[in-house]
Structure 1
């Protein structure tokens, strides 16, 4: 299923204004299950938690109101605080559930995501410095004295690739 509502259409349009390729390729929606409960359980299972550790009993008893979350009667911060108190809901699962509800501001990053970012940054940095072969470390020292902040971090990968 896709999240399709007036709010979702607005979010997709705003996202596509920021991301040209997303607009060109029609990207900006996520697949969802029929019910938020199913998405939450799937998210927990992604993190290899056992069923006994989930919030199923709280949902069944009414202690955790998923409809309130899904209607967005709560802010993202309120939902996040409730979820983080539950066993199995760390940063990755919480961000994934928030994304399913329609809050897209957190990255659902786990150890694997961070590994990919690190490898991408290392590969990009290596190819940037390869043009100075065999003086890569000298170029690194020069760059670090000049303007290291302008080329460091994941947000500047395009800048490194263009150089």
Structure 2
């Protein structure tokens, strides 16, 4: 099956995807040779289908679903809604891009303004946690571990199937054993959940944060759908900060994913950036937030976008275009930081 989607004038899939660490994290797969994004998406019944997203004209995307995954046309809106979210194709996001470009001439020239995110807020939140207190290589491995786990889930039995004998151990460049990113429903129904995440996926103490979020959602204490409908950042941010494990970095990263860009998600990578790029050798955990405000407030309310434009420029100067990197080199993108402050 093929689904065509209209995109705004000036939209480029490559630039809309390859601009934030999330595009490098499983189960997202960017194919440099064809400029195609491949990943599983959820259907109405929670089953997954792998899709390929490519740009076939300046105003059109093509979503391709393999013939061995036949789906009905009733599933198409679920697929296009997730693609719209990932690529920020809603009218609201398009208006934000245009407003940011009016403030930032270099961003407009480079076509930068859509930070890639995942198909669901839940995946964004969990991946924000995975970035905390971790090297980027370790973050990538944890995301891969969750996708390997999801492929082995037997939700009806509440267990994880054993890996097939003879299969080679998954590496950071092996995608054969990936499934989709686990859903709230899948994690909630498993027995011994926290230990599975801690041991099988190497999440460590983050396993408890993940399961507390899952429990709070399933018990109705947190409604992610309602959160996505909030248009008041002053109301939303304290809610994110109240989640277990969500310090200023994780909350600011999630905040940014939800379309609020006035809080720069500062961590040790930000400190490195200010020291190496801006010559602020006195930058540390105590003053990095103040330095970020000083540097990016001229672009309010899009400070985080201005920050990420600088980060992408830095990475591409040192490593080449992110869209052309081999997956095995993703672990080298972030600096040498190993303590992403939460």
**Moved segments of 4+, more than 3 Å:** none
Written as runs of structure 1 = structure 2, the 5 A alignment for 1:3-82 is 3-48=88-133, 50-54=206-210, 55-72=213-230, 74-82=231-239
Written as runs of structure 1 = structure 2, the 5 A alignment for 1:76-155 is 76-122=233-279, 154=295
SS at match of 1:88: coil
Q: CA deviation at 1:118?
A: 2.6
Q: CA deviation at 1:115?
A: 2.7
SS at match of 2:244: coil
Please give the root-mean-square deviation of Cα atoms over the aligned residues, in Å. 2.2
Query: Computing the radius of gyration over CA atoms, which structure comes out larger, 1 or 2?
Result: 1
Q: CA deviation at 1:28?
A: 0.2
What TM-score results when the alignment is normalised by the length of structure 2? 0.35
Q: Relative to total residues, which structure has the larger strand share, 1 or 2?
A: 2
Alpha carbons of structure 1 residues 50 and 23: separation in structure 2 relative to 1, 3 Å: same
Q: CA deviation at 1:67?
A: 0.7
CA distance in 2, matches of 1:123, 1:109: 15
Q: CA deviation at 1:121?
A: 2.9
SS at match of 1:107: coil
SS at match of 1:122: coil
The runs of 5 or more residues in structure 1 that have no matched partner are 125-152, 156-163
Q: Is the 8 A contact 1:117 1:154 kept in 2?
A: no
SS at match of 2:109: helix
Q: CA deviation at 1:46?
A: 0.8
The runs of 5 or more residues in structure 2 that have no matched partner are 1-85, 134-204, 282-293, 297-342
Q: Is the 8 A contact 2:274 2:280 kept in 1?
A: no
Higher relative contact order (CA 8 A, sep 6+): 2
Aligned to 1:143: none
Once the two structures are superposed, residues 99-123 of structure 1 have per-residue CA deviations (whole angstroms, 9 ceiling, x without a partner) of 1111111101112212321333327
- Give aligned pairs, total: 127
Moved more, 78-87 or 13-22: 78-87
